[in-house]
Amino acid sequence: MSKFFTVLLAALSAFILAASPSFSSESVTMTGSTTVLPIAQVTLEAYMKANPGTNFSLSGTGSGDGIKALIDKTTDIANASRAMKAGEIEKARREGVYPIEFTVGIDAIVPIVHPSNPVGNLSIDQLSQIYQGKITNWKEVGGEDRPLVVVSRDSSSGTYECWSDLVLKKQRVSPKAQLQASSGAVVETASTNRNALAYVGMGYLNSSVKAVHVNGIAPSMETAKSGEYPISRPLFMYTDSVPTGETARYLRFVLSPEGQKIVEETGYVPVR
């Protein structure tokens, strides 16, 4: 993030935290990352309970879709599990949109397998080779003699882009990979396929899948926050210019101690 946006974000955070909540019938739309979706769902539920009569529309279709909607002026808040790219910011400005970035949490991207899979640890290099299609059998990484089924998010996903940056180092995913449109679909696939290797944000972990350590480090709030876990990233909400009205009041809530406690309860790392 540029120095300009760092300074602007600091000033904006101070503005939002000083805002006073009040009743409004204003309609607010929010779309984007399926990784950020659980945070948005639970914070919205708490916010709307405390502010009856508020009107929000929420969907999760991927970070790229959310950012595009912000640029197209069809959403008030774009949820993203990656930072906006320079080209996206330039395009937004050409359209008269001036994105403001809010960091609402920290996430770890976690490799997952079927609970019956004995493999409990993989290195970054092993993950990279698996996703490039160079390792094709679980026995090559200490597992059973079974074919490896690679499961990935689609290219519109911020989780996919972070995985590409941090694990694949921009190498191409194997054309044999099964692409899924949401984190929920990824978990469903890994929970029902004994040969699958997939990855999701930490907030999507549940008992139907097994989390795999990376480089011997367990994914947790502590290791994600410290940076010890090697596949972690911030989570964002974007608005067009300094938010006002219901949008500002909602973001004030997300960044408040109560909102950040919800972020933690949802399975992510709070930033405040």
> Do residues 100 and 165 both lie within one domain?
no
- CA–CA separation, 166 vs 234, rounded Å? 13
Q: Once rounded to an integer, what is the mean pLDDT over residues 230-242?
A: 97
Distance in angstroms (rounded) separating the CA atoms of residues 161 and 166: 9
Q: Are residues 207 and 117 in the same domain?
A: yes
Same-domain check for residues 220 and 238: no
Q: Is the pLDDT of residue 60 over 80?
A: yes
Average pLDDT over residues 174-186: 96
Structure confidence by residue, pLDDT tens digits, 186-201:
999 999 999 999 999 9
Residue 116 is classified by DSSP as T
Domain that holds residue 200: 108-226
Transcribe 204-238 into DSSP letters: G--TTSEE-EETTB---HHHHHHT-SSSEEEEEEE
Task: Tell which residue, 49, 55, 68, has the closest CA to residue 28.
Answer: 55
Q: Say whether both 113 and 222 belong to one domain.
A: yes
Contact 133, 147 (CB under 8 A): no
**CATH number of the domain residue 97 falls in:** 3.40.190.10
**How many domains does the chain fold into?**
2
Strand intervals (E) in 27-98: 27-32, 55-58, 77-80
In a domain, 84, yes or no: yes
133 and 214 co-located in one domain: yes
Let me know whether 220 and 246 are in one domain. no
Examine the domain organization and report whether 67 and 118 are in the same domain: no
